[in-house]
Amino acid sequence: MWKDMYDINDLIMISALQHYAFCPRQCALIYLEQIWTENRLTVEGKILHERVHEEGNEARGDVRIERGVSLRSLRVGLIGKADVVEYHRQADGAWLPFPVEYKRGKPKPDHCDKIQLCAQAICLEEMLHTEIPGGALFYGQTRRRLDVTFDETLRRETEEAARQVRDLLNSGKTPKPMYGKRCDNCSLAAACLPKTIQKRRSVNNYLIRMAGAGEEP
Contact (Cβ atoms closer than 8 angstroms) between residue 20 and residue 28: no
**Nearest-CA neighbor of 71 among 125, 113, 6?**
125
Q: How far apart are CA 52 and CA 66, in angstroms?
A: 10
* pLDDT per residue as tens digits for the range 147-191: 999 999 999 999 999 999 999 999 999 998 888 888 887 878 778
Domains of the chain: 8-175 (3.90.320.10), 176-217 (no CATH)
Q: What is the mean pLDDT of the chain?
A: 87
Q: pLDDT of 91-119, one tens digit each? A: 999 999 999 999 988 999 999 999 999 99
**Residue 46, pLDDT above cutoff 80:** no
Q: Which long-range contacts (CB under 8 A, 24 or more apart) does 126-130 make?
A: 126/72, 126/73, 126/74, 126/75, 127/71, 127/72, 127/73, 128/97, 130/96, 130/97
Residues 116-147 have pLDDT tens digits of 999 999 999 999 999 999 999 999 989 999 99
Confidence of residue 209 (pLDDT cuts 50, 70, 90): low
CA gap 22, 41 in Å, rounded = 15
| 17-38: average pLDDT | 92
